[in-house]
Structure 1
């Protein structure tokens, strides 16, 4: 009875906070897996933008990757926009730095993206360039400016994935190296001016290299929304929301004792809870669930993202009048998030 009541409350919260009549654009990321098509077939009617993470490119600007033709056909049949991701290979800083210093390679990339999009019927692209390094800031902004102008000639859209402008609690600040390599290359104001929207990746507040904690606590997410809105118009900001959970344990990395973590799907988190015989506790301040267990004498700590925590983040997106939400990623989620869609 208690469980049924909790599920009912989640359903009411989702219906009221997430999917009101005014709505939010719902972009959902997916990866190339054997079950990708079946997952999308099941959820396609609850999605506006399908964003497969499948494309990358060489230092010479040659684009490679492919969206499953069956997914393309499904999106066209249901009238959904396809906006695949283009990533810098393995997020390697030195390689992307060399690419951004090569105008011919960039021209080849831009031409290829236009050609592929027109051939396959994509609505546009999302750039997911990470670990660029601070010295690449101006070059990356210039690439985005050129790409946006060229895509617009063909009525194609461009969005940019950007990392959070603040780090882990309690300091809310990244170390100097992480800031220079990961955060500082994004000129949010310029990127917003030369794209249709930005996806703010509002997750990994606590990482595999940090102490255990929420992936994206409510207060932390609100803080980075507020910071992003200093530079980005609200109608050009999509809130990236994690659908995965994370499990920490004490371990040794680089010959030092430190926290070690791995990401879990919702199903994986539920399996861990059942194996441990553990119960979750709701952290009201953070808006997440957590649990503690033990394996081989070593304590383990689980922080979960599920329907209730997602509802709180979507409520933030609506409160600040954002364009929409970007969910990372299909197949990792608590299935209850779809109940009201």
Structure 2
């Protein structure tokens, strides 16, 4: 019996050792604090996705790598998969989608850059797309994925969460579906791409009233909907590392007219941490939304701050194993609560 128990324990340990480690995808911007965060924590990053490339309506790709970043990535064996995004707005992207020559220019450039710099592939980060371009976007994903795969590269796609699969009741929900949610055919994109990054952040935004950046009930609802169309092995959960700060702005417009002006700015940990001390704010934990928040008064008016801190990160990170996901994709390096890194293991290369 003792030998049998020892055998079971050995099998359990062996299985745990060979279980797939959730992939830790982090986005990188060109700011010093984003770069410094990557350098400090490269060993805990599974895939680096820098914002290096753009494309115009004629398929002209511009951009290039940061050589220092590439050297650090090579030293720590971190694969690099840059973003390619639209540089010509919604109308420009529509024109690109419906121009076969322009699309081929873009794909050819992506292949050339991937081969020259040794990228793992590219990530599509195309947003602000008309819902009427849904099928055209899926076709671009198919064409690009096929071309990249032929040369040994991968395609990942960042998508705006779009449960329940149609426009909602209010005018804001209608606008969100028209230009942000409706363009993503998750089933088609999940079929063509190697990885889908579900951007489960900005539930509340600069365009809305104050609220959680990515409240847990909303995150879970979006995740469950996406899992009905995308295999869990291809799905990466978006985790916000930044917060929002809502306040009352100047009611006088540039033309001299007056109107309500409720504003919100992104706020990173290196900003909200000293703000808490400055304002003697009482940070509170929302056990329903699983997010921290606080408020304070300035000129007798309340200002709201919602912060995805390390506690918030830990609870969302737990969802990856709970649902058997590929991993997570976190926006963006340099924004995070420093204690986030205590929640992550060193990556197994």
Scaled by the length of structure 2, the TM-score of the pair is: 0.87
Alignment-derived partner of residue 137 in structure 1: 134
- Other-structure match for 1:333: 336
The answer to whether residue 177 in structure 2 is matched with residue 179 in structure 1 is yes
Matched residue, 1:16 = none
Alignment match, 1:278:
281
The verdict on how the C-alpha distance between 1:318 and 1:72 changes in structure 2, with shifts beyond 3 A counting, is: same
How is 1:245-256 mapped onto 2 (pairs within 5 angstroms)? 245-251=243-249, 252=251, 256=259
Residue 314 of structure 2: which of 311, 316, 325 is its match? 311
| CA apart distance, 1:296 | 2.0
Tell me how far apart the structure 2 counterparts of residues 88 and 56 of structure 1 sit (CA, whole Å): 6
Distance 1:43 1:253, change over 3 A: farther
Does the aligned pair in 2 maintain the 1:273–1:279 contact within 8 Å? yes
2:36–2:334 contact (8 Å) kept in structure 1:
no
**In structure 2, C-alpha distance between the alignment counterparts of 1:33 and 1:67, rounded to whole Å:** 14
Q: Give matches, 1:67-82, under 5 Å.
A: 67-82=65-80
> Which position in structure 2 is the counterpart of 1:14?
none
Alpha-carbon separation, structure 2, partners of 1:40 and 1:245? 19
How far residue 181 of structure 1 moved from its aligned partner, in angstroms, is 1.1
The equivalent of 1:297 in structure 2 is: 300
- The answer for the alignment partner of 2:15 in structure 1 is none
C-alpha RMSD of the superposition: 1.9
Q: Which residue of 1 aligns with 2:10?
A: none
CA contact (8 A) 1:166 1:172 kept: no
Structure 2 CA distance for partners of 1:172 and 1:242, relative to 1, 3 Å: farther
Counterpart of 2:265 in structure 1 is 262
The alpha-carbon deviation at position 35 of structure 1 amounts to 4.2
Unpaired stretches in structure 1, ≥5 consecutive residues: 1-19
CA drift at 1:142? 0.7
Question: What SS does the corresponding residue of 1:26 show, helix, strand or coil?
Answer: strand
Gaps of 5+ in 2: 1-17
Runs of 4+ in 1 over 6 A off after TM superposition: none
What is residue 7 of structure 2 aligned with on the other side? Answer: none
Q: Does 2:126 align with 1:109? A: no
Distance verdict in 2 for CA 1:253–1:305, change over 3 Å? farther
Retained in 2: the 8 A contact 1:212–1:259?
no
Which is greater in Rg? Answer: 2
Higher mean C-alpha displacement, 81-90 vs 113-122: 81-90
Q: Following the alignment from structure 2 to structure 1, what is the Cα–Cα distance between the partners of residues 252 and 96?
A: 32
Matched residue, 2:152: 155
Any idea what SS the aligned residue of 2:282 has?
coil
- CA drift of 1:264 comes to 0.5
CA shift at 1:250, angstroms?
3.0
Equivalent pairs counted in the alignment come to 318
2:215 to 207, 214, 217: 217
Alpha-carbon shift at residue 36 of structure 1 (Å): 4.1
Pairwise CA distance, 1:175: 2.1
The alpha-carbon deviation at position 317 of structure 1 amounts to 1.9
Change (3 A) 1:172 1:258: farther
